[in-house]
Amino acid sequence: MSTLFISDLHLHEGRPDVTQWLTDFLAGPARKAEALYILGDLFEYWIGDDAVPPQAEHVAVQLAQLDAAGVPCYFIHGNRDFLLGPAYAEQAGLRLLAEEVVANLYGQPTLLLHGDTLCTDDLEYQAFRQQSRDPAWQGAMLAQSVQDRLRIAQEARAASKQHTGSAAMAIMDVNTDTVLETFRRHAVTRMIHGHTHRPAFHEHLLDDGSPGQRIVLADWDTKGCYLEVSAAGAKAIDL
């Protein structure tokens, strides 16, 4: 048996091909898994469970079918879909997790997270993250009309693209000290995350001199890709 991981699909109405990749994945490799974890940014944006677009309705059906087939699907919020709530999760059969979770994967405790909390050099983003995770801010956002929320989401997408294009690449990647502190805080030797769109298997030297492995999931910009973890280890697989 194996457990599968995906992140950073950034599904939206302008990319039906990515939705089809996900549909094929959920009907194919995911059906043979012990569990599926989605580590954030399943959607390009999310403005509330009361404004689910047709594309997301389709995805909910596919995810619910996976759950009905006996494959549980766990979800950690990303920086784009942090407003995804319990109503949509119930519709899709998703099990919502905290932003940092340690899972025992075939005998090895593994930290799972989206990954944006590791990018502490990006001060502008971290300030927004702190604001947007505040329950009061979220309540005020969800109290606005669907039209206003959609406008705000579109403006945020444009601002994010501008920030990504102008900020130094190193600033938007993880901070090594933060990574090591996160390993230390959770007392693990392996973590899996997405967010950076820089898929790789990284090795870190931990405080006690032991090796730590950090696996970065691939985004689905040009192709679908998932991580398979089993008792034999971990490997990235393209669709």
Check if the beta carbon of residue 227 is closer than 8 Å to that of residue 192. Answer: yes
pLDDT of 110 above 60: yes
The per-residue pLDDT for range 123-147, each reduced to its tens digit, is 999 999 999 999 999 999 999 999 9
Mean pLDDT, rounded, of the chain = 94
Nearest to 42 by CA among 64, 18, 66, 24: 18
**Taking residues 44-71, what's their average pLDDT?**
96
Residue 173's domain comprises 3-238
pTM, full prediction: 0.94
The per-residue pLDDT for range 151-165, each reduced to its tens digit, is 998 888 887 777 765
Total domains, the chain: 1
Say how far apart CA 230 and CA 140 lie, in whole Å: 43
Range of lowest pLDDT (86-90, 109-113, 157-161, 207-211): 157-161
Task: Report the CATH number at residue 165.
Answer: 3.60.21.10
